[in-house]
Every structure is written in structure tokens, then in C-alpha cells.
Amino acid sequence: MKLALPAILIAIILLAVASFDATGPRADFTMVQANDAFTLDPQKMSWQQDIRLGRAIYETLVVVDDDHGGVQPGAAERWDVSPDGLHWTFHLRPDARWSNGDAVQAQDFAAAWQR
């Protein structure tokens, strides 16, 4: 009888814990590197730890497909190349947004390259 009450309490606690349902997938991310990054400025990244971190936190117009070679769409859903190969036109995804919800615009990429 002395063991029945603790066993019942443990069973109730286990049932209560098992019934908890997560509201969605976790959104946190942990990245471990041997060294600190020297810079978070994409134009100044030259060390491997900077580039690795940059690939994790920045979205580019296109993404290098490491598994199959070539490039895949990134922030740009498609792109056109002029017949002479000198002019490239990137068409941004309509759902591309900054972390604050603002729409990503072509001027955002142009300003980053022209600074």
C-alpha cells in the first residue's frame, strides 16, 4: 500500500508529460566553429570561418549546389542573360522578405554591391 500511492503519482506525472504537444518545430540553431569570425561584412570575408558563417546567415541571389554542381535559385527565382553575356537580370522571389517583414527589393542588392 505504501508503494501504491507513489506509483500512481509517477504514472500521473508520466501521462501528463507525455500529453504535452509542441506547438511547432524549434527555430533555434547552434553552429560551432574552431575560431571566431573576423567580420560579418560579406564584402570583407576571406577567412573560412567568416565564409562558413556568412553562408549560414545571408541569402544570396543564387546558391551553389554542392551535391550536383551548378547553381540553384536563392533570393532570385530565375535569371536572364543577355545574348552578349554582359547583362544579367535577376527576378526576385515575390515572397522574399527581410527579418522585419519588409519585401526584399532589387535596390537592396544593388546598394550592397555598390557601396
Write down the domain spans for the chain.
Answer: 27-58, 60-115
> What does 37-100 look like in DSSP terms, one character per residue?
-S---GGG--SHHHHHHHHHH---SEEE-TTTSSEEESSEEEEEE-TTS--EEEEE-TT-B-TT
31 or 22: which leads in pLDDT: 31
Q: Is 75's pLDDT higher than 70?
A: yes
Fold annotation for 60-115: Dipeptide-binding Protein; domain 1 (3.90.76)
- Is the pTM of the predicted complex or chain greater than 0.85? no
**Span 39-57, pLDDT tens digits:** 999 889 999 889 889 888 8
Q: Is 90's pLDDT higher than 90?
A: yes
